[in-house]
Amino acid sequence: MFGSVIDFELGEELNTLRDRVRAFVHEVAIPAEARDRSEHGLDPGLRSELQEKAKEWGVFGPQLSEDLGGLGLDLRGSAVILEEAGYSVLGPQALNCAAPDEGNMHMLGLIATPEQRRRYLVPLAAGEIRSCFSMTEPAPGAGSDPSMLLTRAARVDGGWSVSGRKWFITGADGAAFTICMAIAEEGATMFLVDAENPGFTVERTIEATDRAFPGGHGEVVFEDCRVADDAVLGAVGEGFAYAQVRLAPARLTHCMRWLGTARRALDIALDYANEREAFGRKLGELGMIQRFIAESVIDIESSRALIWRCAWALDQGANGRHESSVAKAHVAEAVVRVVDRAVQICGALGVSGDAPLARLMNEVRPFRIYDGSTETHLWSIARRTLKARAGASR
């Protein structure tokens, strides 16, 4: 795999699209940030307004296939565009390439039946509805270790009964449907559950540091939740395999968007360091500030390189498990470092509500935990590497 050529040229079309998305973010998304005041994510009115504008600008759905009204980019192209969108927390919502819908659309595109596609994927891709993904459970259920899943699915007349409790389900409040992971006799299985199903309840929206996701993060209950056989997504017993199909690209697209956020934070810090004076010179002339800046540039550029490598591997058809773990573990830590340094460079302004940095810090911090915590990724990278070496030396 590593013998073939890696090309860093973006090409004219992608460059043009990147410039258009950059202009959209500066002219539409950033000015709208002052109106984004809701506690748990962007309010539905502002989200629809931004999505309509993105359609007018021809930048809607960059990662979606053309038959779904998207721009049909592969992951390498998406890496460029989603980074640009992430420069504003409103960018990915406007372009309909934000989590969790983006990961759900990707998975539905691969495994949904034609009828599931018509009912769930088509309106999701058009931005008409939102969705969520219900996997994590409060202790003692599944968190870092998915094998601890407690939610059960039992066969009943005409379908299934799903029972269990999930939490930190992003976008649950206001989602039209959820994809629920439950254990059936045959193994982990995914079910499409409509929000209006009487057996499904969003019990509360959890207080969290971030507020970029419409609907916040919900605690949801499935109580003898009845669904028909055609609600099974993919094959019964294959849920964990499909979760991998969703997770490797989904965690990579998170990396792309948060990289844009890190760039925004650094730009704010650079503007401050170029203007603000202390001890008879600009902050940017002080060695320790220069070190912060250089380290942030290295964090951003190394993150981009790892994202592009993983995107390339996935585009070649590799499962990308290793590349996405390496990228995720590095990028999540790197973007938090970049934003934290930007806060430090800006002094009191950095922690105030006057600059968006305090908000950005609250947005990026949870990324070290979701889509696999840094520690679980480091653990699997180390185990894989040890095993490979043991195999090589035998």
Which residues contact ligand FAD (rule: CB under 6 A)? 100, 132-136, 143-144, 168-170, 208, 210, 217, 366, 369-370, 373, 375-376, 379
The distance of Cα 167 from the centroid of its chain, to the nearest Å, equals: 17
* CB 378 to ligand FAD: min, Å: 7
Distances (CA, A) of 145 to 140, 152, 371: 10, 16, 12
Q: How many CB atoms lie within 10 A of CB 119?
A: 18
Q: Which is nearer to ligand FAD, 142 or 345 (CB)?
A: 142
Q: Which residue is nearest to ligand FAD (CB)?
A: 143
Q: Which is nearer to ligand FAD, 136 or 253 (CB)?
A: 136
* CB 213 to ligand FAD: min, Å: 7
Q: Which is nearer to ligand FAD, 134 or 296 (CB)?
A: 134
Q: Which two tokens stand for residue 237?
A: 């017993």
* CB 106 to ligand FAD: min, Å: 14
Q: Which is nearer to ligand FAD, 179 or 289 (CB)?
A: 179
Q: Which is nearer to ligand FAD, 14 or 208 (CB)?
A: 208
Q: Which is nearer to ligand FAD, 76 or 217 (CB)?
A: 217
Cα(216)–Cα(174) distance, integer angstroms: 10
How far the first Cα of the chain sits from its last, in Å, is 23
* CB 104 to ligand FAD: min, Å: 10
* CB 197 to ligand FAD: min, Å: 18
Cα(376)–Cα(159) distance, integer angstroms: 36
* CB 15 to ligand FAD: min, Å: 33
Which of 94, 92, 58, 57 is closest to 78 using CA atoms? 92
Q: Which is nearer to ligand FAD, 304 or 359 (CB)?
A: 359
* CB 109 to ligand FAD: min, Å: 18
Q: Which is nearer to ligand FAD, 290 or 385 (CB)?
A: 385
* CB 167 to ligand FAD: min, Å: 8
